[in-house]
């Protein structure tokens, strides 16, 4: 009998249910560096996971809609948000099939990597993300630029697009300005204590 690949929803539900908490709860540095100076407005957090970014944004005055394919992850986010005393709109979507309506001053996609999705599927999501940015607003895409230096054999295949590939996927029109397109290097330690570093890419584009 042939084994069928899990759907994206099954994959991410299993991923989150395996542990009580997966992420630190801290906001991603890629988001913090690009958004700290912006005036709060409406924000859409795509692939919000357990809500670390959404809660940080809401605490700074953003009106946040946080979206993920995993109800388990978002239920944890909602608990953390209640504990932090912030309000967030949580919405479950498989972003490839079904994207939230409306436009936002900030659309954020941080580490929206998925071993069960193809580059073309991510490209579709990113183009919908750009379409959801209000005039004058920004899209911030943060992503890993490869595995940490201490990984000798990747545990599974994940597509880590370069900034140029993300820009190609976005296919932005002339009304857009690229404000940030950089690699950021951070120290990274393996579970066994091997020291190394990891590169992340950060892209911030503004709709004119």
Ligand X SMILES: C[S@@+](CC[C@H](N)C(=O)[O-])C[C@H]1O[C@@H](n2cnc3c(N)ncnc32)[C@H](O)[C@@H]1O
Listing from the earlier edge strand, what are the strands of the sheet with 63-68? 88-92, 63-68, 42-46, 104-110, 133-144, 195-207, 176-189
28 sits near ligand X (criterion: CB under 6 A): yes
User: Which among 65-73, 81-89, 162-170, 188-196 is the span making contact with ligand X, rule CB under 6 A?
Assistant: 65-73
69 sits near ligand X (criterion: CB under 6 A): yes
CB atoms under 10 Å from CB of 148, counted, come to 17
80 sits near ligand X (criterion: CB under 6 A): no
43 sits near ligand X (criterion: CB under 6 A): no
Within 126-155, the residues that bind ligand X by CB under 6 A are none
Distance CA 116, CA 46 (A): 17
User: Which among 58-66, 92-100, 148-156, 169-177 is the span making contact with ligand X, rule CB under 6 A?
Assistant: 92-100
Minimum distance from CB of 15 to ligand X (Å)? Answer: 7
Which of residues 44, 56, 68, 167 is near ligand X by CB under 6 A? 68
Distance CA 23, CA 52 (A): 8
Whether the Cβ atoms of residue 119 and residue 96 lie closer than 8 Å to each other: no
Distance CA 53, CA 45 (A): 8
Whether the Cβ atoms of residue 182 and residue 202 lie closer than 8 Å to each other: yes
113 sits near ligand X (criterion: CB under 6 A): yes
Question: How many Cα neighbours within 13 Å face the side chain of 2?
Answer: 2
Minimum distance from CB of 110 to ligand X (Å)? Answer: 4
Size of the site for ligand X (CB under 6 A): 22
Which of residues 29, 33, 96, 127 is near ligand X by CB under 6 A? 96
User: Which residues, in sequence order, are bridge partners of residue 183?
Assistant: 201
34 sits near ligand X (criterion: CB under 6 A): no
Which of residues 40, 94, 127, 128 is near ligand X by CB under 6 A? 94
């Amino acid at each position: 009998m042939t084994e069928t690949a899990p759907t994206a929803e099954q994959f991410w539900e299993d991923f989150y249910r395996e542990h009580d908490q997966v992420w630190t709860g801290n906001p991603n540095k890629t988001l913090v560096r690009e958004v700290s100076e912006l005036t709060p407005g409406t924000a859409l957090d795509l692939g919000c996971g357990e809500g670390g970014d959404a809660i940080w944004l809401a605490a700074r005055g953003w009106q946040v809609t946080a979206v993920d394919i995993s109800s388990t992850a978002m239920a944890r986010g909602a608990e953390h948000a209640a504990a932090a005393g912030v309000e967030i709109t949580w919405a479950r979507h498989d972003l490839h099939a079904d994207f939230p309506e409306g436009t936002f001053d900030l659309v954020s996609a941080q580490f929206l990597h998925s071993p069960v999705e193809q580059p073309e599927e991510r490209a579709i999501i990113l183009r919908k993300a750009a379409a959801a940015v209000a005039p004058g607003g920004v899209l911030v895409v943060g992503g890993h630029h490869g595995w940490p230096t201490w990984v000798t054999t990747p545990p599974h295949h994940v597509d880590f697009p370069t900034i140029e590939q993300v820009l190609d996927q976005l296919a932005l029109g002339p009304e857009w300005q690229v404000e940030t397109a950089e690699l950021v290097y951070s120290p990274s330690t393996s579970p066994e204590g091997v020291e190394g570093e990891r590169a992340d890419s950060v892209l911030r584009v503004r709709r004119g």
